[in-house]
Structure 1
Amino acid sequence: MSKYTVIAYSATTPCYSNAYDHSGQSGYYYTFQAYISDLSTIGFDNAIYSVLQTGMWIYYENINYNGDLAGQVYWVHGVDIAVDFPSEVDGVTSSLKYAGNRYVLNEDSYTIYSGEFYTGDEFYGNVDTASLSSLTDQGSSIILTGLSDWTFYTEYDFGGYAYCFSPSTDRDVGLDGTVLNFGFYGSLSSAGVPDNYFRSVRKGCFSPNIVKASPMKAEGKSSNGAWGVIRV
């Protein structure tokens, strides 16, 4: 088996994706440990058919994480989980990224995305944030990792209306005991929260307005992970 290279970082991180150009984790592969907005820049566009990975990874049909053009999203989360992509998303991935902290698995964190279903630009945080900066009034979906709730506010500096989100949708346990917890909110508007509404975030739950998360529809699931397609 031939290996291309580690992308962007030579140091091994616990969050990784070995992406293969054949099913069954065979053929040539890249080890990804960082975001790639355009896989054609490394000669691996539309080449992914299976993965072996740890963490939450999102595979997008188009470049720039489907931010410029809508497309399918394939997601996989788990601990040392091996997955073959279904035929409808075989060989279509043009960009990819992970969610959470690639150095610290299951760290308490949030990522808010400009588009629904984790597409487009993002803002990542693991501490109280008085301003969402470029994602202010732009968030349409959220992924939480770890065990902590997070409160999102409609004004800067933790003011205005407040909504509490929880990482309560998915829990993966690896054979070595590694645990990953997630909260998935693919569409804030579908969860009953106004779209493009938040300006600051605080760790913990400080609101009676609890936003219920719905597990993403999985194509497959095991004790150490799950995977599925978000069709658009």
Structure 2
Amino acid sequence: MGSLVRVLPALVAAISCFTALAIDIPDLRYLKAYINDDPDGPYHEFLDYSPDLSVQGLDDLSIKRICLTGQWLLYDEHYYNGIDTFIIGLNDCYNLSSSDSISSLRYTGSPYGLNDVYYNLYEGENYGGNEFKGNTNTPTVANLDMNVSSLTINGQSPWTFFTGLQYAGEAVCVYPYGPVSNNGIYLNFYGIGTITDLGLPDNSIRSVAKGCLTDNVYRGDRPHQGEWRPGWKLGHPTSDA
């Protein structure tokens, strides 16, 4: 029993040390929402989805400044609907304009690591509505079967999207952009706000496979290379901090 008593404090100390190291990981995805533009002012930190910001006591016009790492989607309606802003940051901060309305938010990409290989499919154009996501081949996109209007990919692998079940039908391969980097943090990504840009009909995606499995490759805007532009924001305009 005496040996066990001596081991337990050492184990607790080791766990505490590991926890501290985990919290200090520099590429941890986060979003801090400030209620004013004071960088030392009060904020609420998000590490996960929030379909209704009133739960955190934030109404649609109360967020004045954000600091973030990762790709975050901000919506002016609850449950990821309405006009959205797609903001990418690597430990960056932005001041929002007085007209920016945010009622819900979520990130895009893997829940396991910032630059893990992953895809997200969305019911609405510009990343709105219901979502189907994963990091492996899927012969059917289940609840979004023939109901996909936009998508994102993350990590260092391309993905192939098919209009048929079980990897059949028309196919298009999409490569990630980047890597982009900032202070040793790296991110590969690509976002397609409407799948008609891929040459596929809207609501036609039915299965997804990892890798480039077709000669029909979407080129987009230099998908194989990228230069990080600090404060890069997609969506309706915001002002830099």
TM range (shorter): 0.7 to 0.9
Is 1:99 matched with 2:108? yes
**In the alignment, which residue of structure 1 is the partner of 2:41?**
27
* Superposed displacement of residue 155, structure 1: 1.5
**In the alignment, which residue of structure 2 is the partner of 1:54?**
69
Can you give the 5+ residue segments of structure 2 that lack an aligned partner in the other structure?
1-21
CA contact (8 A) 1:53 1:81 kept: yes
Distance change in 2, residues 1:27/1:16 (3 Å): same
Is 1:182 matched with 2:196? no
CA distance in 1 between counterparts of 2:72 and 2:158 reads: 21
Can you give the 5+ residue segments of structure 1 that lack an aligned partner in the other structure?
1-10, 216-220
**In the alignment, which residue of structure 2 is the partner of 1:193?**
200
Taking structure 2 as the reference length, the TM-score comes to 0.79
CA distance in 1 between counterparts of 2:37 and 2:64 reads: 5
Question: Larger Cα Rg: Structure 1 or Structure 2?
Answer: 2
CA displacement, residues 24-65 of structure 1 (integer Å, 9 cap, x when unaligned): 434321110110111112211222111111100111000011
CA distance in 1 between counterparts of 2:166 and 2:138 reads: 8
Counterpart mapping for 1:1-232 below 5 A: 12=23, 14-46=28-60, 47-66=62-81, 71-89=82-100, 92-168=101-177, 171-175=179-183, 177-214=184-221, 223-230=229-236
CA displacement, residues 59-102 of structure 1 (integer Å, 9 cap, x when unaligned): 10000111xxxx3212211211111123431xx10000001123
CA distance in 2 between counterparts of 1:26 and 1:72 reads: 29
Between Structure 1 and Structure 2, which shows a larger proportion of helix residues? 2
Counterpart residue identity of residue 37, structure 1: P
SS at match of 1:189: helix
SS at match of 1:37: coil
CA distance in 2 between counterparts of 1:206 and 1:156 reads: 15
Taking structure 1 as the reference length, the TM-score comes to 0.82
CA distance in 2 between counterparts of 1:225 and 1:186 reads: 20
* Superposed displacement of residue 195, structure 1: 0.5
Between Structure 1 and Structure 2, which shows a larger proportion of strand residues? 1
Q: Let me know the Cα RMSD of the aligned residues.
A: 2.1
**In the alignment, which residue of structure 2 is the partner of 1:4?**
none
CA contact (8 A) 1:185 1:213 kept: no
CA distance in 2 between counterparts of 1:186 and 1:196 reads: 13
CA contact (8 A) 1:184 1:213 kept: no
> Aligned residue pairs: how many?
208
**In the alignment, which residue of structure 2 is the partner of 1:6?**
none
